[in-house]
């Protein structure tokens, strides 16, 4: 089944403790992206990647890092999480940017 | 600035009634336009997309959307709503620069 898999689905952590949210797609898509979803704000792009080793900042990149060492994987790294990063995170992929996304099921992160 | 606006935060309709969700965009040129649906606890699913050509596009689950350049709108419609359509709906635009912009969403409630 074609899908984007995120792990974990739920995560509660403490301020400052580094964490990684994994994202993997099995559709050989070139384009991958991370979003955060907050009430009243919709989805905001954190980072995106056009291909292996090619990444760029979205609209809200502060406090996040990404890497794209393999085509299928696009992990999101929070080096020092803070409570304002409590949010619902989505990974998405697309064959090309204008084809529309396939989204993962989301990761609900709480930073206390 | 480029933007996507969904004027209605909440909409309530009776089962069997028709539905129209509004979306307006602000771009220098006609972007690629999309509608996504998010069921509770799930990721977003692509309903339909508009690239060019016929301004009335058909999607999955009986939805359709009409692109109106003169009004900068891309409204989503369904002739008869089912209880399972209760969800949050997002309009999105892609400008060709590897960035999507999402609206803030419209939450649909369906009355039995």
The chain-wide mean pLDDT, for chain B, equals 92
The pLDDT assigned to B107 comes to 96
Q: Does B27 touch chain A (CB under 8 A)?
A: no
Strand partners of residue A73:
A24
The pLDDT assigned to A98 comes to 67
Query: pLDDT tens across B8-24, in order?
Result: 999 999 999 999 999 99
Q: Indicate the burial class of A86 (C-beta count within 10 angstroms; 0-12, 13-18, 19 or more).
A: middle
Contact A90 B46 (CB under 8 A): no
- Counting as low any pLDDT under 50, the low residues of chain A are none
The pLDDT assigned to B11 comes to 97
Using alpha carbons, select from A93, A103, A98, A89 the residue that is nearest to residue A11: A89
Query: pLDDT tens across B17-47, in order?
Result: 999 999 999 877 777 899 999 998 888 999 9
In percent, how much of chain B has pLDDT > 70?
A: 98
The pLDDT assigned to A97 comes to 61
B105 vs A42, A44, A45: nearest CB = A42
Locate the chain B residue with the closest alpha carbon to A9.
B41
Question: Is residue B1 predicted with pLDDT exceeding 80?
Answer: no
Locate the chain A residue with the closest alpha carbon to B39.
A105
Contact A103 B102 (CB under 8 A): no
């Amino acid at each position: 089944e074609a899908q984007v898999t995120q792990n974990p689905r739920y995560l509660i952590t403490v301020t400052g403790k580094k964490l990684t949210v994994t994202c993997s797609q099995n559709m050989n898509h070139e384009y991958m992206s991370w979003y955060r979803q907050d009430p009243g704000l919709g989805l905001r792009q954190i980072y995106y990647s056009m291909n292996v080793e090619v990444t760029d900042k979205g609209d809200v990149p502060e406090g996040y890092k990404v890497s794209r060492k393999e085509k299928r994987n696009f992990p999101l790294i929070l080096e020092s999480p803070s409570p304002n990063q409590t949010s619902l995170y989505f990974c998405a992929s697309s064959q090309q940017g204008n084809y529309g996304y396939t989204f993962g099921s989301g990761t609900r992160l709480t930073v206390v | 600035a480029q933007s996507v606006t969904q004027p209605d935060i909440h909409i309530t309709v009776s089962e069997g009634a028709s539905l129209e969700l509004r979306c307006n965009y602000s771009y220098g040129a006609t972007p690629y336009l999309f509608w996504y649906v998010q069921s509770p606890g799930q990721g977003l699913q692509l309903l339909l997309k508009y690239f060019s050509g016929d301004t009335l596009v058909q999607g999955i689950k009986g939805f359709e959307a009409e692109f109106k350049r003169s009004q900068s709108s891309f409204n989503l419609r369904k002739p008869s709503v089912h209880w399972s359509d209760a969800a949050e709906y997002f309009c999105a635009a892609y400008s060709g620069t590897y960035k999507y912009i999402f609206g803030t969403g419209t939450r649909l409630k369906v009355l039995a």
